[in-house]
Amino acid sequence: MRKGSLRGKMLQAGVLGYFLYTYASYSYLSMYNPLFPVYVALFGLSLFAFIIAFWNFGPTEVADSLKPRFPRRLLGGYLIGMGVLLLSCGLPGSSPRWFPVHLRWDWNIMRHWARCCS
């Protein structure tokens, strides 16, 4: 990849987003150990780097780089469908009957997990 290319910028933003998600999870969830200050520092650094990486994109740079025949509706429909499916998995008692049993939400499993991990 060439320096300053759109692919490079998107790869950089994706990697920084991964670090942001990882260290936010470490900072806010159950990773309280001697490395906790390191996790918080890495979270802060990745947050600011992620914001700066997005400032490097032009207002229409990504849209202009897509081909005119890019399947926007297909991709949008897929993303909406997956969001609805994930929402139906996450709400207690609202998992569809056709959904696999091991993926359905169950309060008893969550209570058992909370007892085991605390």
**Would you kindly state where each structural domain of the chain is located, as residue ranges?**
1-65, 84-118
The position carrying tokens 């998107």 is: 10
Residue of 118, 116, 117, 91 whose CA lies nearest to 106 = 91
**Residue 38: is its pLDDT beyond 80?**
yes
Average pLDDT over residues 26-35: 82
**Residue 106: is its pLDDT beyond 80?**
no
Contacts of 26 (CB under 8 A, 6+ apart): 39, 42, 43
**0.75 exceeded by pTM:** no
The token duo for 106 is 């169950």
Residue 80 amino acid letter: I
CB atoms near residue 18 (< 10 Å): 12
Q: Which residue has the higher pLDDT, 106 or 79?
A: 79
First to last CA, the chain: 47
> If pLDDT is split at 50, 70 and 90, which confidence band does 3 have?
confident
Give the model confidence (pLDDT) of 40-75 as tens digits. 999 999 999 999 998 888 778 777 887 888 888 999
